[in-house]
Amino acid sequence: MTAEPVLELSNISKRFGNLLANDDISLSLAQGELLALLGENGAGKTTLMNILFGHYTADEGEVRAFGSFLPPGRPRAAIEAGIGMVHQHFTLAGNLSVLDNIVIGTEALSKLRSDRSKARNKLTDLSEQFGLQVNPEALVGDLSVGEKQRVEILKALYRDARVLILDEPTAVLTSIEAEQLFKTLKGMTETGLSVIFISHKLAEVMSASERVVILRAGKVVAEKSTADTDRAELAELMVGRRVTRPVRQDQTAGGEILAARDVDVVEDGRKTLNKISFAVHSGEILGIIGVSGNGQASLGRLTCGLAAASAGTLVRNGQETRAFSPHALVEAGTARIPEDRNTEGAVGEMAIWENAVLERIHNPLFSSRGLVDRAACRTFTDELISRFDVRGAAPDTGTRLLSGGNMQKLILGRNLATSPNLIIANQPTRGLDEGAIAAVHSELLEARKTGAAILLISEDLDEVLALSDRVQAIFNGRLSEPIAATEADSKSVGLMMAGIWGGTDAA
């Protein structure tokens, strides 16, 4: 290790309301180091990086870059000190070219002409040096997610970043793209750059990083040299206890519960699903794996009754139709877990009991002659809360006060309480911590055991491989042929996620 760290955070604390997001965190980064910042959602990783980059001001503590103190709350100072950040959600203008996106903000407004050729040369040099291929004239809006990320990295390098911070860089990448990214990052550290990447994925932390700092509940709980640790140890450090995800037992599937045959969906004038076909059977989990933004949202809306097929047929219990309605689906015993629990799954400003019964309020259990039976609703909610272990909740608590995991348990609970024969689970564990993920998984497997058909739409490869009996990949609005879970491994499924299946390239 060199004498002086390139980056040093000392005793950083940050409080949001009652939440202590960062609690006395210190860490340092050496030159040429590839450091992973590991932690669950809500552990404080992103907050810490935002403080480092000047988006937030720390309540306590200070940041030093290359030995000199960084003034808090000033992103420009961080950029000038040579720190570059690649956010999880890209900050690029889709209607500008790659070159424009990179140059923007680096030239003084008073300059009359921008020096395009000099900028282009610098960009070309950088992309050659680090193996980040992009076409400088391409429109950013036309680029794939992986290419956009490359532009973001180049943007930071163009501003002479010596320290690169990447927030969950693989969240939007296929496994192949992710591998490529880490190869690039490794190359950068060899030329003397230093990199911090934020992640909650153990596999990539183990394979890519040199050193790993583990955050839990806003605190640094451990710091390990990657060579001296293993996945199990990291998992335990990250979660704080030993968590084992449930395991799927073999069983034979029954009759077809839900199917789509050659279905197209057009939303906002764009074809979002293209001739998709699938079938889910009783006692079976069909996993739909894919990188975010390939049509999962449309598929979710289609199967939850919010979008109609413009071509093809949907089949529910043998009945053919073009479109479901939420009401009819619920009546037929469908559990629907929406992609975004905060905007679709529940109304945050309403009480928990109101959200618990909202989608079946017309059921005689909860209302008669248009009048709500409030006592019955509250009793039902009370049972839900205890049976599904929704913590920190009473029927009259505001739903917004629930944590992500507990809100998901509420949504799962209100659906599973009525023993559904079909479950549409769209990203059911997105943003949940390990404990909550294990709980959701065991509920889904339990429902499968009792004969429910489950359509699992997920971006998490581990989750899909662990739960599904059969797997189909979604790419660019199209579905691959199903493959049995026994034939699926992360490599073959990774190729499918990139649109390569059946000997053809779906792209």
Partner 1 sequence: MRLERRDQTSLALIVAAPVAAIIVSLTLSGGLIALAGANPFDAYFEMVRGAFGSRLSISETLTRTTPLILTGLAAAVAFRAKLWNIGGEGQLYLGALIAAWLGHNMAAAVPAPLAIPIILLAGMVAGALLLLGPVLLRIRLGVDEVVTTLILNFIVLLFVSMMIEGPMKDPLAFGWPQSVAVESDVLLPKILARTRLHIGLIIALVAALLIWFVQTRTVFGLETKAAGLNQKAAAFAGIALGKTLLGVACISGALAGLAGAIEVTGLKGYVTLDLSPGYGYSGIVVAMLAGLNPLGVVITALFVAIVFVGADSMSRALGVPSFIADVIVSISLLTMLVSLLFTTYRVRR
Q: Does 343 bind partner 1 (CB under 8 A)?
A: yes
CB of 88 vs partner 1, minimal distance in Å = 22
Which pairs with CB-CB distance under 8 Å and at least 24 residues apart come from 44-48?
A: 44/14, 44/215, 44/217, 44/218, 44/219, 45/167, 45/198, 45/215, 46/88, 46/167, 46/198, 47/14, 47/16, 47/21, 47/22, 48/9, 48/12, 48/14, 48/22, 48/215
CB of 349 vs partner 1, minimal distance in Å = 5
Taking CB under 8 A as the criterion, which residues in 293-312 touch partner 1?
304-306
Whole-angstrom distance, CA of residue 94 vs CA of residue 102: 12
Residue 339 CB coordination number (10 Å): 20
The closest alpha carbon to 9, from 53, 51, 64, belongs to 64
- Window of 6-14, 346-354, 383-391, 445-453 that interacts with partner 1 by CB under 8 A: 346-354
Pairing of β 7-16 and β 60-65:
antiparallel
Candidates 141, 190, 398, 450: give the one binding partner 1 (CB under 8 A): 398
Q: Which residue has the tokens 């491994």?
A: 489
Burial class (CB in 10 A: 0-12, 13-18, 19+), 311: middle
Give 401 or 507: the residue with its C-beta nearer to partner 1: 401
Q: Does 266 bind partner 1 (CB under 8 A)?
A: no
The 3-class secondary structure across 12-29, one letter per residue, is EEEEECCEEEEEEEEEEE
Whole-angstrom distance, CA of residue 6 vs CA of residue 60: 21
Give 39 or 345: the residue with its C-beta nearer to partner 1: 345
Candidates 30, 243, 372, 438: give the one binding partner 1 (CB under 8 A): 372
Give 97 or 355: the residue with its C-beta nearer to partner 1: 355
CB of 101 vs partner 1, minimal distance in Å = 30
CB of 306 vs partner 1, minimal distance in Å = 6
- Window of 60-68, 146-154, 189-197, 354-362 that interacts with partner 1 by CB under 8 A: 354-362
Give 330 or 471: the residue with its C-beta nearer to partner 1: 330
Helices 374-387, 404-416: crossing angle, 10 deg rounding = 110
Q: Evaluate whether 455 touches 276 at the Cβ level (below 8 Å).
A: no
Any bridge partners for residue 215, and if so which?
220
Cα→Cα distances 498→27, 146, 171, 292, Å: 37, 11, 14, 12
Taking CB under 8 A as the criterion, which residues in 312-341 touch partner 1?
325-327, 330, 336, 338
Amino acid in the structure at residue 213: V
Candidates 315, 347, 365, 466: give the one binding partner 1 (CB under 8 A): 347
Give 145 or 308: the residue with its C-beta nearer to partner 1: 308
Whole-angstrom distance, CA of residue 374 vs CA of residue 157: 60
Note the Cα 23 to chain centre separation in Å: 25
Give 65 or 416: the residue with its C-beta nearer to partner 1: 416
Q: Which residue has the tokens 């335990």?
A: 236
- Window of 182-190, 245-253, 272-280, 358-366 that interacts with partner 1 by CB under 8 A: 358-366
Q: Does 367 bind partner 1 (CB under 8 A)?
A: yes
Q: Does 268 bind partner 1 (CB under 8 A)?
A: no
Q: Give the strand order in the sheet containing 83-86.
A: 83-86, 163-167, 194-199, 34-38, 211-216, 219-225
Give 174 or 298: the residue with its C-beta nearer to partner 1: 298
Taking CB under 8 A as the criterion, which residues in 2-21 touch partner 1?
16-18
Give 275 or 374: the residue with its C-beta nearer to partner 1: 374
Whole-angstrom distance, CA of residue 239 vs CA of residue 229: 16
CB of 436 vs partner 1, minimal distance in Å = 21
- Window of 106-114, 176-184, 271-279, 365-373 that interacts with partner 1 by CB under 8 A: 365-373
Whole-angstrom distance, CA of residue 353 vs CA of residue 376: 10
Candidates 96, 171, 358, 365: give the one binding partner 1 (CB under 8 A): 358
Give 210 or 344: the residue with its C-beta nearer to partner 1: 344
Q: Evaluate whether 430 touches 234 at the Cβ level (below 8 Å).
A: no
- Window of 87-95, 202-210, 290-298, 345-353 that interacts with partner 1 by CB under 8 A: 345-353
Left if phi > 0, otherwise alpha if psi is -120 to 50, otherwise beta: which for 456? beta
Give 377 or 500: the residue with its C-beta nearer to partner 1: 377
Give 59 or 233: the residue with its C-beta nearer to partner 1: 59
Which run of H or E residues covers position 276?
A: strand 270-281
Taking CB under 8 A as the criterion, which residues in 11-70 touch partner 1?
16-18
Question: DSSP letter string over 325-365?
Answer: -HHHHHHTTEEEE-S-IIIII--TTSBHHHHHHGGGTTSTT
Residue 411 CB coordination number (10 Å): 23
Q: Does 362 bind partner 1 (CB under 8 A)?
A: yes
CB of 374 vs partner 1, minimal distance in Å = 7
Q: Does 452 bind partner 1 (CB under 8 A)?
A: no
Give 175 or 408: the residue with its C-beta nearer to partner 1: 408
Question: How many residues form the binding site for partner 1 (CB under 8 A)?
Answer: 32
Candidates 187, 348, 404, 431: give the one binding partner 1 (CB under 8 A): 348
Candidates 228, 371, 375, 504: give the one binding partner 1 (CB under 8 A): 371
Positions in the binding site for partner 1 (CB under 8 A): 16-18, 304-306, 325-327, 330, 336, 338, 343-350, 354, 358-359, 361-362, 367, 370-372, 374, 398, 401
